[in-house]
Chain A
């Protein structure tokens, strides 16, 4: 089974700055999703991008998908202290809808 792999693993930024995370995967996908997890809580869905889409926006979030490079990026613009969390990418394969998660990025936004 494939895995999403995020890069970098940990990111510390100042409030107001942008945060960018990358994710790579290995096989063909149906879609790629990004989730956020605050400490001790469940994962919260942020955005889903289908394999035939290249870019998607949701509020301060921007996700890109490059299927030729099997990679995706998540950009958080104008970060806030409340954005401090772990961020996971997950891929859904064709033929099944098991999500394959990466290890996650820990993002710390310093007020």
Chain B
């Protein structure tokens, strides 16, 4: 089966610009998660979708971040406008179940805001 895929793998943008990250979960996985690792820090939870619904978005840093999952398939995470502190690696993960279910991670998108 195909794994979780993320696009792009790298993105370099200037402060104030907009960037959209995409995640394609494993087919059939209702649960989709976004995590972020800022340089030197822990991997932090951003939000959790169950199908197309936002189950938990408590980790979203501010309203410059917008996540969507249209039709319960792929998801996008848009940052608008980007700030320097948004730089980091954004990981997407999916799982078939919610609790006690291991996550399948994509390779991440490395975002650099200059």
Contacts and interface: CB of A to CB of B under 8 A. Distances in A.
Interface of A: 3, 30-31, 33, 35, 40-45, 48, 50, 88, 90, 92, 96-103
A33 B102 contact: yes
A44 B105 contact: yes
Interface residues of B, number: 24
Interface string B35-61: 100000111110010000000101100
A46 B53 CA distance: 28
Given A31-B100, A101-B44, 10 more contacts: A35-B105, A40-B107, A42-B108, A43-B91, A44-B105, A45-B102, A45-B105, A48-B100, A48-B102, A101-B35
Contact of A30 (B44, B58, B91, B99): B99
Interface of B: 4, 35, 41-45, 48, 56, 58-59, 91, 93, 98-108
B107 A98 contact: no
Contacts of A42: 4, 91, 93, 105-108
The 8 closest A-B pairs by CB, nearest first: A42-B105, A45-B102, A101-B43, A98-B45, A43-B105, A42-B107, A97-B98, A42-B106
